[in-house]
């Protein structure tokens, strides 16, 4: 079944597990990271990114749950104790209402206004459904946003495009975008948290190696508020598209040694 096969049977995240047994698993995402309980692990070294600087042409769409951009060229991440290389598939965001709390993960109970997920799969796979059968088949890099006084120019093209896709299932082209324009500079990517979890939407498959970077991405209040203009398929404003926190159930969260 497709990951959103339960759209009709289970309207709220609390009832997802009724139609999607995966969503009732023991290693679900998102979680609250308690930083003083995170185990510092020296194996969590720096990442190597390939082709993150490369610009590509893509489409940005309101897919009914989020804003999503597919990655149309081969960009990979390795290192950071990922064991193998993973290639970027797409990125999407989770946010709150008018710039209010909206991230999926929280750090010591703090919920940020927005969270970026760059979804990757192991290089050997050609589609995500195959990767989702592998307990470490998917690697999601998660980044938090913080409200800043000035606008973040690197997000101008995305923010402009978002204003054109407020209607559900609409899309528009992005002439030139790179993954690097989205994320902090390399030297700010050495501190991060790592744990094993799941997709945060049905079927909530437990095949995700999660990395959450400590360094935040600045966006102005005006830029954050643009996302609240988007609409869900039912006509309601697309706000609060984050899943509630899930229990750790004894899982360990690791912190990079750097």
Residues ≥6 apart with Cβ < 8 Å to 244:
13, 14
Nearest residue to Zn ion by CB is: 117
Residue 92 Cβ vs Zn ion, minimum distance, rounded to whole Å: 5
Instruction: Find which of Zn ion, ligand SG4, none residue 32 binds, CB within 5 to 8 Å per kind.
Output: none
Residue 115 Cβ vs Zn ion, minimum distance, rounded to whole Å: 7
Cβ proximity to ligand SG4, 30 vs 99, nearer residue: 30
Cβ proximity to Zn ion, 117 vs 122, nearer residue: 117
Residue 103 Cβ vs Zn ion, minimum distance, rounded to whole Å: 10
Name the percent of the chain in helix, strand, coil, to the closest 5.
Answer: 15, 35, 50
Catalytic annotation, pick one of 50, 65, 73, 215: 65
Residue 133 Cβ vs Zn ion, minimum distance, rounded to whole Å: 20
Instruction: Find which of Zn ion, ligand SG4, none residue 128 binds, CB within 5 to 8 Å per kind.
Output: ligand SG4
Cβ proximity to ligand SG4, 1 vs 36, nearer residue: 1
Name the residue with tokens 């790592």. Answer: 194
Cβ proximity to Zn ion, 30 vs 80, nearer residue: 30
Site residues (CB under 6 A) for ligand SG4? 3, 63, 65-66, 68, 90, 92, 117, 119, 128, 140, 199-201
Site residues (CB under 5 A) for Zn ion? 117
Instruction: Find which of ligand SG4, Zn ion, none residue 62 binds, CB within 5 to 8 Å per kind.
Output: none
Cα separation values, 166 from 69, 71, 114, Å: 15, 21, 17
Q: Residue 88: what are its φ and ψ, rounded to 5°?
A: -70, 135
Q: Are 44 and 194 in contact (CB under 8 A)?
A: yes
Cβ proximity to ligand SG4, 68 vs 228, nearer residue: 68
Nearest CA to 77 out of 199, 213, 176, 174 is that of 213
Residue 256 Cβ vs ligand SG4, minimum distance, rounded to whole Å: 20
Q: Are 210 and 29 in contact (CB under 8 A)?
A: yes
Q: Which residues pair with 213 in a beta bridge?
A: 192
CA distance 200 to 205: 8
- Verify whether residue 73 is a known catalytic residue: no
CA distance 132 to 244: 22
Instruction: Find which of Zn ion, ligand SG4, none residue 119 binds, CB within 5 to 8 Å per kind.
Output: ligand SG4
Q: Are 188 and 215 in contact (CB under 8 A)?
A: yes
CA distance 168 to 166: 6
The catalytic site residues sit at 65
């Amino acid at each position: 079944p497709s990951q959103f096969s339960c759209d009709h049977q289970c309207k709220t995240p609390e009832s997802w597990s009724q139609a999607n047994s995966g969503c009732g698993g023991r290693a679900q995402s998102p979680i609250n990271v308690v930083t003083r309980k995170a185990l510092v692990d020296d194996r969590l070294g720096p990442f190597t990114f390939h082709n993150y600087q490369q610009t590509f042409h893509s489409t940005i769409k309101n897919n009914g749950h989020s804003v999503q951009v597919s990655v149309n060229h081969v960009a990979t991440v390795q290192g950071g104790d990922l064991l193998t290389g993973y290639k970027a598939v797409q990125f999407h965001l989770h946010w709150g209402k008018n710039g209010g709390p909206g991230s999926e993960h929280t750090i010591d109970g703090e919920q940020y206004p927005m969270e970026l997920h760059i979804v990757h799969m192991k290089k050997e796979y050609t589609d995500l459904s195959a990767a989702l059968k592998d307990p470490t088949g998917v690697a999601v890099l998660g980044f938090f946003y913080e409200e800043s006084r000035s606008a973040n120019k690197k997000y101008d093209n995305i923010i402009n495009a978002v204003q054109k896709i407020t209607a559900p299932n609409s899309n528009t082209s992005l002439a030139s975008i790179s993954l690097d324009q989205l994320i902090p500079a390399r030297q700010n990517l050495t501190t991060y948290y790592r744990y094993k979890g799941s997709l945060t939407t049905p079927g909530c498959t437990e095949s995700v190696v999660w990395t959450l970077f400590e360094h935040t991405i600045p966006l102005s209040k005006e830029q954050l508020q643009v996302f609240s203009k988007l609409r869900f398929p039912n006509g309601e404003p697309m706000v609060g598209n984050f899943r509630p926190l899930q229990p750790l159930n004894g899982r360990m969260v690791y912190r990079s040694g750097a």
